Every structure is written in C-alpha cells, then in structure tokens.
Structure 1
Amino acid sequence: MDLADRALTAGELVDMKWKLGVAVSSDECKSLNSPFVTMTLRVADSSGKISTHTIEMTVTQFQHFSQQMKEMASRMEMV
C-alpha cells in the first residue's frame, strides 16, 4: 500500500472541538491546579461511519500539536 492509498483510508475529519480545563485536585494531590486541553475529534471512515476520539493533553502538548498543524497546513499549500 503506497502513501496515497494510506491517506485515503485514514478517514475524513468531520468535526473537531476543544476545551480548556483545570484539574483542581486528585486522590494524591489536594491542590493540583493543573490546566489541560481536551480535544474531541469526529472522523468518518470510507463507508461514512462516524467515530469519536477524545484526546487529553497538557497545554504545552496542545501548543506543540497546534504548531505541527500549522506547519502541515503551510506545506500542503505549497503542493
């Protein structure tokens, strides 16, 4: 399977939502105060079936992810 075939089977991003939250405490830490980002992706496969994927990451991880998406978009515009 070549790269083009794999790209076609990856699915289509139908919707993406994100929200910022703060974990204020846990069983092990009474004063956590740790911000995080939750992303919910809805992806349609080739038959049209939609699946939902939820990803939770630190703010730093989200910023890195965002930068990678910007770089990909920039490179795709060149093609």
Structure 2
Amino acid sequence: LQKSLEPPLTFSYFLVDMQWKLGMAVSSDTCRSLNSPFVCLLLKIVEPSGQICQRSFEMTIPQFQNFYKQFKEMAAVMETV
C-alpha cells in the first residue's frame, strides 16, 4: 500500500448544534426607523478539552446568505469523500 504524503486532518472543535432565528431591528437610540432584518445564530461547539460551549452572533441577511452558501459548498464536498 502506498502511504499518503499528506498529514491526516485533525479538528480541534466540533459543531454539535446550530440554531438560528430571524429578527427585525425596528429602531435604535441613533435611528428611529431602522427596519433592518438580521439573523441570530447560536452554535453549540465541543472544544478540544471536551467541554461544550455556546457561541452566538448576529449577521445581516446578505452575510447569512453567504454563510449558508459556504455551508452548502462544504456539504457538497463532504458527500464526495
């Protein structure tokens, strides 16, 4: 058998769960009529130590669409392996 020259991939973090919700920023202290939609993501991640942690962040709709596109591309690549 021929050995691969590439080192094996190792992952330090694992995605356990991902939740999202759509929100609407109606106004702020600097803008009375904001009306800006956003997506809030909550990721549950297993750290290298084995501890499970949660990370949350917000994205604009275009940012979320790009994020979604990248996840679809990763899924397509993973199906070929």
Normalising by the smaller structure, the TM-score range is 0.7 to 0.9
Deviations 1:37-60 (CA, angstroms, capped at 9, x unpaired): 000001012332011111100011
**Where in structure 2 are there 5+ consecutive unaligned residues?**
1-6
**Where in structure 1 are there 5+ consecutive unaligned residues?**
none
Residue among 33, 41, 44 paired with 2:43: 41
Q: Higher Cα Rg: structure 1 or 2?
A: 2
Count of matched residue pairs: 75
- Give 2:65's aligned residue: 63
In the superposition, the TM-score normalised over structure 2's length comes to 0.84
Following superposition, the deviation at residue 3 of structure 1 comes to 6.5
User: 4+ residue stretches of structure 1 with deviation over 4 A?
Assistant: none
C-alpha RMSD of matched pairs (Å): 1.4
- Give 1:72's aligned residue: 74
Identity %: 53
Following superposition, the deviation at residue 12 of structure 1 comes to 1.4
